[in-house]
Amino acid sequence: MTTTEQRPRATAETSGTAAAGTGAPDRATRSGGEILIQGVGHVFPSDTGPVEALRDIDLRIAPGEFVSLVGTSGCGKSTLLNIVAGLLSPTRGTVTITPAAQDADARLPRRAYITQDDRLLPWRTAVQNVAFPLELHGVGKRERLARAHELLDRVGLADFAQRRPSELSGGMRQRVSIAQALVYRPAVLLMDEPFGALDAWTRESLHELLLDVQAELGTTTVLVTHDVFEAMGLSDRIITLAPRPGRILREYVLTDFPRPRSHRELQTPHFVEIHEQIRADLGFRT
Ligand SMILES: Nc1ncnc2c1ncn2[C@@H]1O[C@H](COP(=O)(O)OP(=O)(O)OP(=O)(O)O)[C@@H](O)[C@H]1O
Ligand SMILES: [Mg+2]
């Protein structure tokens, strides 16, 4: 079976992101797409026998929702994101991405995927990497460079626009990947541990940026993270996954708690309880 969409899939993939879309991105407010995951299972063949990475995953992610996936290493988080991104066909089940109504005239849906490892093009400068998805879809040089510089500024890398990836730190490269994903104003944003390599201050400023972008564009966002506080700070809903095979364990709905959520709020009894429950889900002692 395959991942399905209501409109043709993008053929373009960029270095750090798999971006989908075409035409000049507009500045108008957009809305996120709906993600419907139904009965998804995945088995990888391997030399030592088949590996069942995912089983019976059913999940609907509403337009504009921010969902975090939390689970121990090897429980199938990246496999699930690869399937939602359309990079991997699941062995069972379907994923349907329904574009937002106002995207009806666009030729392609707009998804961006920040993978666990950055995939920037080494011969391009930071600004050229960020502008690359726009270049692929025919946005004029002046506009794409202006937008790429704006995003680099927002991720704190204005002074590094002309550097190549080999001249940047791991955290800086990850920030270039984030800028590259956001330059597209995607309707669906998929992120696999995007902040893992970053210091606490940079992390927090990028959290703010993400929340701003979500408020501005209504982007449907799926974040994979090992950091339960990060998930509690950002999400409308947290999904915990169990390993071998990867299955959904439980969900935590946080829509009653407005964002941004301060560090202090995350220490209140309600969040402490959620934190402990998630740790218990993942098999840690509380
Ligand atoms: N290409 C592959 N071939 C064979 N097995 C694979 C392949 N990719 C992943 N797996 C297996 O599928 C399972 C899930 O892997 P996945 O990468 O999705 O885990 P993850 O939750 O993202 O882990 P981490 O938190 O370490 O990134 C693991 O048991 C892994 O060994
Ligand atoms: Mg992974």
Q: What distance in Å separates the CA atoms of residue 156 and residue 169, rounded to the nearest whole number?
A: 13
Would you say the C-alpha torsion 216, 218, 224, 229 has a positive or negative sign? positive
Instruction: Specify the higher pLDDT residue, 257 or 137.
Output: 257
- Total number of domains in the chain: 1
Position 264 scores a pLDDT of 94
Closest-CA residue to 222 (of 84, 128, 96, 118): 84
Instruction: Specify the higher pLDDT residue, 209 or 103.
Output: 209
6 in any annotated domain: no
pTM, 2 dp: 0.86
Position 21 scores a pLDDT of 32
Instruction: Specify the higher pLDDT residue, 251 or 204.
Output: 251
List the Cα angle 224/211/37 in 5-degree steps: 40
What is the number of the ligand 1 atom nearest to the C-alpha of 226? Answer: 25
Nearby residues for ligand 2 (ion, Cβ within 5 Å): 78
Residue 14 confidence (pLDDT) above 60: no
Ligand 1 pocket, mutate which of 68, 78, 193, 224 (most atoms under 8 A from CB): 78
222 in any annotated domain: yes
Residue 226 confidence (pLDDT) above 50: yes
Regarding the beta carbon of 42 and ligand 1, being less than 6 Å apart is answered no
3 in any annotated domain: no
pLDDT band at 28 (very low <50, low <70, confident <90, very high): very low
181 in any annotated domain: no
Instruction: Specify the higher pLDDT residue, 281 or 109.
Output: 281
Q: Tens of pLDDT along 67-85?
A: 999 999 999 999 999 999 9
Position 102 scores a pLDDT of 56
Q: Where in the sequence is the domain holding 72, given as residue range(s)? A: 13-121+187-281
Q: Is 142 exposed, middle or buried (0-12, 13-18, 19+ CB in 10 A)?
A: exposed
pLDDT, the chain, mean? 85
134 in any annotated domain: no
Position 15 scores a pLDDT of 30
89 in any annotated domain: yes
Regarding the beta carbon of 55 and ligand 1, being less than 6 Å apart is answered no
Beta bridge partners of 92: 41
Amino acid at 98: T
pLDDT band at 100 (very low <50, low <70, confident <90, very high): low
Residue 57 confidence (pLDDT) above 80: yes
Regarding the beta carbon of 115 and ligand 1, being less than 6 Å apart is answered no
DSSP 68-92: EEE--TTSSHHHHHHHHTTSS--SE
Select, from the ranges 94-108, 187-201, 241-255, the one with the highest average predicted confidence (pLDDT): 241-255
Q: Is 79 exposed, middle or buried (0-12, 13-18, 19+ CB in 10 A)?
A: buried
CATH at 73: 3.40.50.300
132 in any annotated domain: no
